[in-house]
Structure 1
Amino acid sequence: WNDQLAIVTGASGGLGASIAKKLIARGCGGVICVDIKNNEWLQKGEGNNYPRAKSIRCDISRPEEITQLANTIKEQFSDRKVSILISNAGIMHGAPLLDLPEGQFEKTINVNFTSSYYLLRAFLPDMISAGRGHIVATSSVMAYLGVSRLSDYVASKHALTGLMESLRYELDKIYRKPNIRTSIVVLGQMTTPLFSKYKMSSIGGFLMPLQDPDSVAEDIVDNIHLNKSSYIYRPYLARLATIVQAMPQWIRDLAQKISGADEAFQN
């Protein structure tokens, strides 16, 4: 682990911060915490506990800033290449399709999905040259199930999951680099600000209980340590999303009603 250099997007708080801390605790040689916000946990006293973590501000919805990010990293870490890329940043607005503010759909897609494409363009070539690496994307059960008031978010997670699945086969069949691993994190709800306004029914909450970001981060870092490609489902019943997707429409509609998913987002 000591020779590994990791990038974690959305690392100023929530799951991203937890992942960064866990990577450092496991002995990762360096962790670059990327976010559009100031990284307060690193700037304050807590940062003294993580000397191998560095914060870089970047608006990943803008391709030119990702290019600048890559250049900055190459200058500041000239002795090593990025070997772990964790595309975790995400936003959620919450409004019916026709009520989304001007530009919000594009912003959600750019942050939650398109940024991953440009991050791969920037850092995957070095992984291919080295013949190793691990790429992790934080997705959602909504990559499989659409819900009301979240059309932009749902679309972004569908796209991200498809990108990662295609990448897995390209690495195996085209680039011939099976040692570059890919993992998709399929999440329900977490106790983070992103989900603060998302309230499911009691049954929905039972099936998809709130997840602690530290616990989810532990699973992600464990998987990287095992050096294998995989799906990481949290909670365990997040697997049901892939099953419900294959069911007849009336069963899907019933499951949607029971879970309260369509009424879950409180504006």
Structure 2
Amino acid sequence: METIALKDGNRMPALGLGTWQLTGPLCTKVVRRALELGYRHVDTAEIYGNQREVGEALKGFERSEIFVTSKVWTNHLHYEETLKACERTLEELDTDYLDLYLIHWPSEEVPVRETLEAMEELKKRGAVRSVGVSNFGIRELREALKVAGDLVVNNQIEFHPYLYQKEVLEFCRKHEISVTAYSPLGRKVVLQDPVVLEIARRHRKTPAQVCLRWALQKGAAVIPKASTEQHLRENLQVFGWELPEDDIARLDSLNRGKSVL
């Protein structure tokens, strides 16, 4: 599995399994099967309501080999609340630490400094190995960098050919903040685009593989959700080949600047 270097010295698998809207026994089944097939990165969040199921799936695997990401929700961004939220997350996942802990959304009510101070404390305690944010635009990223310096090593954003956040991507690259693409398949809307379909046919790949490869070639990690073994396997087949630059440019041109969520 290819990895992406984080500026704190840690490394993150470039492909992970997103678990938004995966709940109950199906969540445990899918995560466990993904790990059996070779996935080594699982993304969850307290708001997803599935951390216990994810934790159950992790049992039987060497914890040090699995990269686990979770996120603190917007109603737990004050200092003490963030500490407690992380404690609950660790308990639900039945693990001693998170590989990456993210602020799920920026807040207008709670200064990012306060939440990042809690994140820094969690890192000092060993409860969190790397710290990041999610859904942060350039303005919010500037503020985070201003108050926390090099603490923030990742920004998880909606990223696919219909929402090519080029300016955010370039800002992150400039400041050595890795990017993780969530909903990299565009909620399947992008997969039906004629350009994506044509590129997929020509390269004998699936439309999903084309979208994932596009994001990977932009330097992003990808965390597609999958609930069937076929899709789990297909999503693993995105390494060892590349899209030519003209196809990348055609996919770039599909940008609509709007979320599909």
- TM-score by length of structure 1 reads 0.39
